[in-house]
């Protein structure tokens, strides 16, 4: 049901510019006002989220680890420097692999329960398909975003725009040339969406906030593919509009078809929605204390900056002296049995 609600909402988003451009004659509104407002919301929301996260205090080292910590005998127990980094350099390389290769997702495992001879057996196996879907989707999205820089730059630089377009269309399929990133983005979104629809456990915990961004990105991709391969929009007129947005000399040529305004409206919705959605995991991975901190809690003493300097440390020995009697009455073990004797009995 959540998926259906999300699909209906995306469908309504498509209808808004279709009727607005032709019936209400609001070409300037959808071609200039909407994308400009969405871009402002995106920048302000993005910066606000990052600054808010950056100002959050992290008094402890809480990195997630999956390997051997540096031991007193490194020959006997070798440290896993990527899964359990202890220095800043090790943490840096861990972050590089996390950001560019999705390393933690690559290490994903699948749990299954099998019936053994005497009792059930839990089995674990490597599961790389989610990593493959995710990395295909993210890199395709990134490449498409870079390719679109040609609409906002004049002259168009060969690096990175020209080089990326050459590699992306190297198969030379169709006219205009089919880009590999287009197919990769659609395939990646469909597979990630299908995972939420097919797998019962994932479907049970999926909400509108999970389905809507996937369906919105899919609609953006399909509307762009429709413009490029089927509608054959006037790219010169579109470049005139986009350069006007960059230079603040706004112009909306009459030769631009309604399919372009649908695409722009969907992209604008995605930009405005981005800072307030789960899509903000993009900058969030850089600010996550479970990833960007070295695991050196046992090598260095970290003092909580929130501690009141007027409050002295209370060791367990002092705690036992203070509460030894009620602990003994409750049957709790004491390091020093004398602490469990009432003061008047001890003096007697």
Same domain, yes or no: 210 and 334: no
What is the full DSSP assignment across 102-150? Answer: -HHHHT-EEEEEEE-SSSEEEEEEE--HHHHHHHHHHHHHHHHHHHGGG
The C-alpha atoms of residue 272 and residue 42 are separated, in whole angstroms, by 5
Same domain, yes or no: 178 and 86: yes
Region of 248 (left: φ > 0; alpha: ψ -120 to 50; beta: rest) is left
pLDDT at 152 (0 to 100): 92
Burial class of residue 51, CB neighbours in 10 A (0-12, 13-18, 19+): exposed
As a whole number of angstroms, the longest Cα–Cα distance in the chain is 104
pLDDT at 298 (0 to 100): 80
Closest CA to 39 of 237, 275, 331, 243: 275
Closest CA to 262 of 24, 5, 11, 7: 11
Would residue 292 count as lying in a domain?
A: no
Same domain, yes or no: 270 and 188: yes
Backbone angles phi, psi at 122, to 5 degrees: -90, 130
pLDDT at 347 (0 to 100): 60
Same domain, yes or no: 329 and 212: no
What's the pTM value of the predicted model, to 2 decimals?
0.82
Structure-token pair, residue 112: 């299954």
Would residue 300 count as lying in a domain?
A: no
Same domain, yes or no: 105 and 192: yes
Would residue 307 count as lying in a domain?
A: no
Would residue 122 count as lying in a domain?
A: yes
pLDDT at 191 (0 to 100): 93
**For residues 109 and 126, is the Cβ–Cβ distance under 8 A?**
yes
Q: Are strands 109-115 and 120-126 parallel, antiparallel or unpaired?
A: antiparallel
Same domain, yes or no: 210 and 126: yes
CATH number, domain of 183, equals 1.20.950.20
Same domain, yes or no: 12 and 74: yes
Structure-token pair, residue 17: 């510019």
Same domain, yes or no: 245 and 330: no
Would residue 303 count as lying in a domain?
A: no
Would residue 247 count as lying in a domain?
A: yes
Would residue 3 count as lying in a domain?
A: yes
Same domain, yes or no: 204 and 334: no
The C-alpha atoms of residue 217 and residue 70 are separated, in whole angstroms, by 44
What is the full DSSP assignment across 17-56? Answer: HHHHHHTS--HHIIIIIHHHHHHHHHHHHHHHHHHHHHTS
Q: Which domain holds residue 20?
A: 1-285
Distances in whole angstroms, Cα of residue 89 to Cα of each of 68, 95, 271: 17, 10, 34
Would residue 305 count as lying in a domain?
A: no
Same domain, yes or no: 256 and 325: no
Helix axes 129-147, 180-198, angle to 10 degrees: 140
**How many folded domains does the chain comprise?**
2
Same domain, yes or no: 325 and 235: no
pLDDT tens digits, the chain, 348 residues: what are they? 889 999 999 999 999 998 888 766 788 999 999 999 999 999 999 999 999 998 887 777 888 888 888 887 777 888 888 888 998 899 999 999 999 999 888 888 888 888 777 788 888 877 888 899 999 999 999 999 999 999 998 888 877 888 888 888 888 787 788 899 999 999 999 999 999 999 888 999 999 999 999 999 999 999 999 998 888 888 999 999 999 999 999 999 988 989 999 999 999 999 999 999 999 998 988 988 888 899 888 888 777 777 788 877 778 888 888 898 999 999 899 988 888 888 766 565
Same domain, yes or no: 101 and 237: yes
């Amino acid at each position: 049901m959540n998926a259906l609600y999300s699909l209906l909402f995306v469908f309504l988003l498509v209808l808004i510019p279709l009727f607005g451009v032709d019936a209400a004659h609001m070409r300037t509104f959808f071609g200039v006002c909407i994308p400009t407002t969405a871009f402002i919301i995106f920048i302000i929301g993005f910066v606000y989220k990052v600054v808010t996260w950056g100002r959050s205090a992290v008094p402890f080292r809480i990195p997630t680890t999956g390997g051997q910590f540096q031991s007193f005998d490194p020959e006997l127990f070798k440290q896993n420097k990527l899964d359990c980094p202890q220095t800043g350099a090790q943490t840096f390389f861990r972050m590089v692999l996390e950001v560019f290769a999705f390393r933690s997702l690559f290490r994903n495992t699948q749990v299954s329960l099998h019936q053994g001879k005497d009792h059930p057996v839990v089995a674990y196996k490597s599961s790389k398909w989610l990593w493959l879907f995710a990395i295909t989707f993210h890199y395709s999205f990134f490449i498409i975003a870079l390719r679109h820089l040609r609409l906002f730059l004049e002259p168009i630089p060969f690096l990175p725009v020209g080089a990326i377009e050459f590699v992306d269309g190297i198969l030379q399929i169709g006219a205009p040339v089919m880009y590999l990133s287009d197919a990769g983005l659609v395939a990646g979104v469909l597979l990630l969406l299908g995972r939420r629809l097919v797998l019962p456990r994932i479907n049970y915990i999926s909400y509108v906030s999970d389905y809507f961004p996937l369906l919105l990105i899919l609609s953006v991709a399909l509307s762009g593919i429709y413009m490029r391969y089927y509608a054959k929009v006037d790219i010169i007129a579109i470049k005139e509009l986009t350069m006007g947005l960059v230079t603040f000399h706004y112009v909306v040529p009459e030769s631009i078809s309604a399919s372009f305004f649908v695409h722009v409206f969907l992209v604008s919705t995605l930009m405005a929605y981005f800072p307030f959605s789960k899509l903000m995991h993009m900058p969030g991975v850089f600010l996550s204390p479970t990833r960007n901190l070295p695991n050196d809690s046992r090598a260095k003493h970290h003092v909580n900056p929130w501690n009141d300097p007027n409050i002295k440390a209370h060791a367990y020995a002092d705690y036992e002296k203070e509460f030894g009697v009620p602990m003994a009455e409750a049957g709790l073990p004491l390091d020093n049995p004398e602490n469990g004797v009432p003061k008047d009995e001890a003096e007697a």
